[in-house]
Amino acid sequence: MADRPTLDDETLAFAERMFDLARHGDAEQLQNMLKAGLPANLRNSKGDSLLMLACYNGHLDAARVLLAHGGDPELANDRCQTPLAGVVFKGDMDMLELLLTSGADANGCPTGGKPPLMYAAMFNRVDMLERLLQAGADPQATDADGKTALELARTMDAGDAVTRLEQL
């Protein structure tokens, strides 16, 4: 905490308004604020970036604006989730496609986290699992506990994902 500056109430209120713009998908206002110097990778107290908030809430236009201004699709939050992992969890295929075509790593996984393929496997999202495999996701990757996507799919009784992963 010593390396973080102390922010006044006005600055904190401004930052919260920016997070709300992302959360509610106000692409036009985000565009204006980014042009005026708003850091594209601003993060809230939970580590969620503006991009994470826009993606997780399904706002494609806001996510496009943030990506165009340097929003980092690999920037993980405090729960060790990248935006790509978050959209797989939510089941948003359009957002998954946007992130992958914008450079998100199909194997992106911070220390202590799970790669996006594991979320697709656990929640039986076979369409997403297929797209991640197509983008180079490693089905043999392990999480911090040494589990693979197949093992997690079995644990969650995600039958279609188990069947597909067993075929690999």
Instruction: Give the pLDDT of the chain (168 residues) as one tens digit per residue.
Output: 456 667 678 888 999 999 999 999 999 999 999 999 999 999 999 999 999 999 999 999 999 999 999 999 999 999 999 999 999 999 999 999 999 999 999 999 999 999 999 999 999 999 999 999 999 999 999 998 999 999 999 999 999 999 999 999
Residues in the chain: 168
Q: DSSP character for 6? A: P
The model's pTM is 0.92
CATH 1.25.40.20-classified regions of the chain: 7-72, 77-168
Cα–Cα distances (Å) from 110 to 64, 67, 95, in that order, read 23, 20, 20
Res 1: pLDDT = 46
Let me know if domain 77-168 sits in CATH 1.25.40.20: yes
Judge contact between 125 and 160, C-beta under 8 A. no
Res 5: pLDDT = 67
Topology, domain 7-72: 1.25.40
> Using alpha carbons only, what angle is made at residue 83 by residues 77 and 86, rounded to the nearest 5 degrees?
90
Cα–Cα distances (Å) from 7 to 14, 38, 162, 164, in that order, read 11, 16, 48, 50
